[in-house]
Amino acid sequence: MAVRSFTIEEIAGITGGRVVRSAQGPIRGLCLDSRRASPGSLFAALKGRRVDGHDFAAAAIRSGAAAVLAEQEMELPEGAGLIVVPSVERAVEAVAIEIRSEFRGEVLGIVGSCGKTTTKDFAAAVLDRLGVVTATAGNRNNLLGLPETLMAADMQARFWVLEMGISHPSEMDALAPLGSPTGVLFTNIQPVHTEFFPSLEAIRDEKAKVLRRTDPHGFAIVNASDPLLARMAIPEGMGRLTYGEQPGAELWIEAVGNAGPEGTPFRLHDSQGSAEGFLPVPGLHNLINFAGACRAGRHYGLALEECAAAAASLKASPHRGQARLLRDQVLLFDDSYNANPAAVVLALQTSAGWGRRVIGALGTMLELGARSIEHHRLVGARAADLGLAGLLAVGGEEAKAMAEVFSASGRPCLHVQSWQDGAEWLDGQIRPGDGVLVKGSRGMGLDGLVAWLSGRRGEA
């Protein structure tokens, strides 16, 4: 793998920094956490709200980092390099932009409200059938995570698949130049981060700014099933490619059997024909994510049958729809990584098709702004309508509102501030053969509940 390496002098030149101490040997890779320093990497001493990376610079060097990018001079172990810059964040971005400018392959940006990480993984698997792929690690999709990906990217790969996530106005203005895609795949527009945007149209328009830094002869792959994306303007001269779950899209997908917790059989269609496969990642919404990945594959010349076959190698990312079987044939569905109203309803709809009695543990959905209580009430109502047998609602006033609406169904319900307060109650509601759906915003820590239930009941 041909990762771009730098001399310390090169990095100083790119960032406008000053070399205080020379490094021994080339610098490869970026380290944002001293505990994860790799041999020869550059440690960025970032100042956070709670910790200051400058305090951990020496530890990063002892763990293998070759040099430190800092905003002040400091004592470091013998042999360590040190560059002082006005802003570590801006310096990291400058290095990322330099690396991107040197890459000659295709760059597919993944943009949208939710499903980005899953779609990124799907796209990487599909495109891997055409050539070497570098993809964003995990969900490192922001102004710090994207540079970390680029500094570890294979410069000889055919494709880079880069997840690009924003949560505040004007953020895409800074993020887009780092990725500068040759094409962009848009997943959907949902009420996520609405605390910071006045409307869903404003969220879409902020994300669409990525097209300003996309190759003018490139393309946008649009989810035609999403009304806001279907109406999104594309710059003149740029290709508009579509996918979705209706025949009107250039590539569309349909479920052709039971959508169970193990996954969904599907059929892909485009103007050239059809192909069948099995997606071993649960959730009907993931069929659409996979269709987007396949539309990218078709654009680059991959046969429809090859696209469908790529599904067999896929699996759910941690805490994003992982199904595990506990003792007494209890199915624990871990979707605890994140949540928004549309995604929760989709998860509830999926669980309704499992052929099991289902208990839910749903956490507060964060960053929904002034309509947050209303969104939670609607989710509570949908949980009742879709037949959830019981609900543990975790969080503050929003979770309480969700629980109050669900309680009108007459089924067991408990509102708690933290999952620890309701774990025993939830465990007591579970019968042999039940399903347990766990979903909430990352800040609610419901992955802890998943671990507790797995330990309490044991895996089959």
Here the CATH number for the domain that contains residue 46 is 3.40.1390.10
Burial of 305 (0-12, 13-18, 19+ CB in 10 A): middle
The number of distinct structural domains making up the chain is 3
Residue 282 pLDDT > 90, yes or no?
no
DSSP string, 12-38: HHHHT-EEEE--SS-B-SEESSGGG--
Looking at the domain assignment, is residue 395 inside a domain?
yes
Looking at the domain assignment, is residue 95 inside a domain?
no
Question: Which secondary structure element, helix H or strand E, spans residue 82, and what is its range?
Answer: strand 81-84
Encode pLDDT of 292-337 as tens digits.
999 999 999 999 999 999 999 998 878 888 888 999 999 999 999 8
Looking at the domain assignment, is residue 94 inside a domain?
no
Looking at the domain assignment, is residue 98 inside a domain?
no
Encode pLDDT of 135-160 as tens digits.
998 778 899 999 999 999 999 999 99
Angle between the 8-15 and 88-102 helix axes, to the nearest 10 degrees? 110
Beta bridge partners of 132: none
Looking at the domain assignment, is residue 115 inside a domain?
yes
Is residue 353 located within the same domain as residue 420?
yes
Query: Measured between alpha carbons, how far apart are the two ends of the chain, in Å?
Result: 40
Residue 192 pLDDT > 90, yes or no?
no
Is residue 283 located within the same domain as residue 155?
yes
Residue 408 pLDDT > 80, yes or no?
yes
Is residue 141 located within the same domain as residue 208?
yes
Composition of the chain by helix, strand, coil, percent to 5 = 40, 25, 40
Structure tokens at 230: 């279907």
Q: Give the CA angle between residues 372, 190, 287 to the nearest 5°.
A: 130
Main-chain phi, psi angles of 311, to 5 degrees: -60, -30
Average pLDDT of the segment spanning 90-107: 97
**Cα 324 to Cα 318: distance, rounded to the nearest angstrom:** 12
Average pLDDT of the segment spanning 445-449: 96
The residue segments making up the domain with residue 437 are 322-457
**Is the pTM above the cut of 0.85?**
yes
Average pLDDT of the segment spanning 173-179: 97
Here the CATH number for the domain that contains residue 348 is 3.90.190.20
Residue 111 pLDDT > 80, yes or no?
yes
Is residue 126 located within the same domain as residue 77?
no
